[in-house]
Amino acid sequence: MSSSFLTPKALGSLIESSVLVRPLRHGRATHALIIKTFTISLPSFLSNHLVNMYSKLDHQNSAQLVLSLTVDRSVVTWTALIAGSVQNGHFIPALECFINMRRESIRPNDFTFPCAFKASSGIRAPLVGKQLHGLAVKVGLISDVFVGCSASDMYCKTEIRKDANKLFDEMPIRNLATWNAYISNSVLDGYTHDAISKFLEFRRVGGSPDSITFCAFLNACADSSDILLGRQLHGFLIRSGSNNDVSVGNGLIDFYGKCREVEFSEIVFSGIYKPNNVSYGSLISAYVQNYEEEKACETFLKARKEGFEPTDFMVSSVLSACASLAGLELGRSMHGLAVKSCVEGNVYVGSALVDIYGKCGSVEDSERAFFELPERNLLTWNAMIGGYSHQGNAEMALAVFEEMSEGENGVLPNHVTFVCVLSACSRAGYVKEGKKIFDMMPERYQIEPGVEHYACVVDLLGKAGMVEDAYEFIKSMSIRPNVSVWGALLGACRVHGKPLLGKLVAENLFQLDPLDSGNHVVLSNTFAAAGRWDEATYVRKEMKNVGIKKGPGCSWIQMKNSMHVFQAKDTSHERNSEIQIMLSKLRRDMKSAGFIPDTNFALYDLEEEEKESEVWYHSEKLALAFGLISTSPGIPIRINKNLRVCGDCHSAIKFISGIVGREIIVRDNSRFHRFKDNLCSCNDYCTSRETENLTKMAAAGVYLHHIARETPDVERLTKFYQEIFGFERIETPDFGPMKVVWFKISPVSSLHLIEKNPEAKLPESPWSTTGGVTDPKYLPRGHHLCFAVSNYDTVLQTLKDKGIETFEKTQPDGKTKQVFFFDPDGNGLEFGDWEAPKL
């Protein structure tokens, strides 16, 4: 078409269409046509169109150039440039343009001020906003409904609520947008009751709400947990017919989901004539918030079948559902779909990816998703710290926390951040660091610790063996301890054999939640582990008498598209015979390697052989055996358990990982355990009583001197320890007919392998005989711990003061003194006055 046929008005329309269709080349072609048509100077309205086009399409340099070449610059020209800059997030350049406009003595109009107010709120500059407010008053535009509304919005977004309220009250005219802005900002700022009162005031003055008003009000009701008021609005919507609006329906779905009334969310969704992608996203989110993750995934699949493209909100919600289900493979499928839909770069989707990989034990994938994100917000950092926390990797969790809060990122932590960091310290035994983080909350970040933070510290102290300190910490709390706080201490009493304190803690728990079966079971297990079978049985009978039923412990493993669930001593699986064969083979191999079952985790009063059988058929071992027969060699095995993995299963799986050469990942209700090459990612923290007691005793100047292990085949076990662990064999004294091998296991301690032979006797050693000897003075020569203490006489006197029977001996050198005794579980302990090392 010849340019002579295009009028200036037609050219202006072409520029407007270029803004709508977005490709810049159309606009540039029109610009070239305008230059060709108007060789001398452009009409001012065409210049305004060009400035608007370039600024809206985020080509600020071109917009500035056109503006500089415009002779007759008006408020419309400047406003077009300012509006485009604000729309594209260039808030500081927008304010600079406003200043330059004022330098040309051009008076801003009712379109300029709203853009300038939005720019000042975008950079959180209330002082600039107040200056703009003063100028609007000076030029007489503050009474304009749009200017007044934008000024009030600016004060809300810069957290100056007092001025926002005052300005709102002084406005002579308030339109629907003004009311909506005020109510929405009140909800976003956490002033839900203010939002509700303003909505009621709006109705009293005869205002007619729209979908935005209704949704803001529903958010206020949800945030204040006012289910009754939200239902009243739902009734009003039905009477007025407004419930047919899809946006209002979406708001209702979200409201009921947040109020834990997900069945009403389903009813509202089913009543929407044509649900859109927001409808599906709201329902998926409602399911996730109410722990119905499987329904969330099913709803997403339904949305895909209906032809809806996945949005960033949908994908992030489904990823959260996958994380709760520990569905790693499903999460990976969603990751692929996110990449295909080009939403993986969204900060919320990216944060959800970091979260799911962390919660599924694949911390390497979590790190990759974290570092690939173009931007990170608080959710992203919390998810990464949480991923390390689940692994018990306190060192990395603390490093990321430091990078987040002290680096150039400038992201301030919130209460969730501290829960993740404290949990990581608890799972790794970082007592000193955990206490420091807890003290840092109010002092440095002005965050008052909540009950969940106190629970983390109690867990931290309890797992480190400082059970009495944890109890004193609870007594000093400034807020009332809840179930999680007392529950953490009860678990510590179970692990560290504190039945009396455990009983006291349980009484507090029973007052708070008398029907929780878990607390009764932990107390019963505490008594059982201490050998107090009558009390353990009494607790179980009490549970039965009051009708409290314990949920069964179970483990499950996903194989292809099926989930296989196992309970202890379960024989119902269709491949049970193969599972039993695999278990028998593992048991033989482990026994040959020197594995001894820990029968302390058999919680019934049985003979020793029966106890070994009891712990061998725990659900996680059955799931592992099934995984071994169902997968190819070398493939990692992933097991989930609804309870905490017991110490015997932990030790057994660690042994099995070395025997079968597999990586085995176990997710229990506390954390992840990654077993590989006879090692676990938790470093055996809080799974072995010996390890826990060593941590506690080291703080008191007590150090491990040696561990004794008895075996019928010393040479075979010697080869095992050398090949698997790389222990250094050291010179061993001559014990005559008794074959003994010593290994150096640390700079200050050793491992003694002693031949199991009832006929062979260690000379002059009451702890060296086995077989028919029944005198309790004679300790078993195998499976005992020996410690070096720097304050031998004090320790000996303490044992005597507590009424513990001791057996003292002096070495042939006439100097080294030793004392032998039994701990409450009947394990042999030996203390000597060797010089304790300075570590």
pLDDT tens profile 381-394? 999 999 999 888 88
AA identity, residue 607: E
Q: Summarize pLDDT for 43-73 with one digit per residue, the tens.
A: 777 888 888 888 888 888 888 888 888 888 8
Q: How many domains does the chain have?
A: 5
Considering the domain architecture, whether residues 603 and 685 belong to the same structural domain is answered as yes
Considering the domain architecture, whether residues 633 and 677 belong to the same structural domain is answered as yes
Q: What's 768's DSSP letter?
A: G
Alpha helix ranges (H) inside 4-111: 8-21, 24-37, 44-56, 60-69, 75-87, 91-103
**Integer angstrom CA distances of residue 183 from 101, 213, 574, 664:** 33, 8, 60, 53
Q: Summarize pLDDT for 97-140 with one digit per residue, the tens.
A: 999 999 999 999 999 999 999 999 998 888 999 999 999 999 98
CATH number at residue 743: 3.10.180.10
215 — pLDDT class (breaks 50, 70, 90): very high
Considering the domain architecture, whether residues 683 and 569 belong to the same structural domain is answered as yes
Q: Is residue 580 part of a domain?
A: yes
How confident is the model at residue 3, as a pLDDT?
Answer: 47
Considering the domain architecture, whether residues 441 and 498 belong to the same structural domain is answered as no
Q: Summarize pLDDT for 678-736 with one digit per residue, the tens.
A: 788 776 664 444 444 444 444 445 556 667 777 777 787 777 666 655 667 877 777 66
- Which of 375, 401, 426 finishes a domain? 375
Considering the domain architecture, whether residues 439 and 383 belong to the same structural domain is answered as yes
Strand duo 702-711 + 749-755: pairing: parallel
Higher pLDDT, 527 or 320: 320
**Cα radius of gyration rounded to whole Å, the chain:** 35
Q: Is residue 430 part of a domain?
A: yes
Considering the domain architecture, whether residues 592 and 650 belong to the same structural domain is answered as yes
Cα 631 to Cα 633: distance, rounded to the nearest angstrom: 7
Q: Is residue 121 part of a domain?
A: no
Q: Write out the DSSP string of 165-211.
A: HHHHHH-S---HHHHHHHHHHHHHTT-HHHHHHHHHHHHHTT----H
Cβ(213)–Cβ(203) below 8 Å: no
542 — pLDDT class (breaks 50, 70, 90): low
Considering the domain architecture, whether residues 669 and 607 belong to the same structural domain is answered as yes
H-helix or E-strand containing 581? helix 576-592
Q: Is the dihedral of CA 254, 259, 262, 266 positive or negative?
A: negative
H-helix or E-strand containing 132? helix 126-138
* Cα of 724 vs its chain's centroid, Å: 35
Considering the domain architecture, whether residues 405 and 439 belong to the same structural domain is answered as yes
Q: Is residue 149 part of a domain?
A: no
AA identity, residue 648: D
Q: Is residue 69 part of a domain?
A: no
Considering the domain architecture, whether residues 664 and 569 belong to the same structural domain is answered as yes
Q: Is residue 237 part of a domain?
A: no
Q: Is residue 574 part of a domain?
A: yes
Cβ(293)–Cβ(322) below 8 Å: yes
How confident is the model at residue 26, as a pLDDT?
Answer: 73
pTM, whole model, 2 decimals?
A: 0.71
Cα 115 to Cα 174: distance, rounded to the nearest angstrom: 19
Tokens of 387: 């991923």
How confident is the model at residue 563, as a pLDDT?
Answer: 87
Count other C-beta atoms under 10 Å from residue 350's C-beta: 27
Considering the domain architecture, whether residues 360 and 407 belong to the same structural domain is answered as no
Cβ(500)–Cβ(732) below 8 Å: no
- Which of 551, 584, 605 finishes a domain? 551
Considering the domain architecture, whether residues 711 and 684 belong to the same structural domain is answered as no
| Strand partners for 832 | 788, 818
pLDDT at 606 over 50: no
Tokens of 571: 């024989």
The values of phi and psi at residue 596, to 5°, are -120, 120
pLDDT at 592 over 80: no
Considering the domain architecture, whether residues 412 and 427 belong to the same structural domain is answered as yes
579 — pLDDT class (breaks 50, 70, 90): very high
Q: Is residue 481 part of a domain?
A: yes
Minimum mean pLDDT range among 255-259, 269-273, 472-476, 753-757: 753-757
**Integer angstrom CA distances of residue 620 from 435, 556, 599, 680, 799:** 34, 8, 16, 15, 39
Could you list the residue range(s) of the whole structural domain that residue 397 is in? 376-448
How confident is the model at residue 454, as a pLDDT?
Answer: 93
91 — pLDDT class (breaks 50, 70, 90): very high
3-state secondary structure of 377: coil
Higher pLDDT, 75 or 159: 75
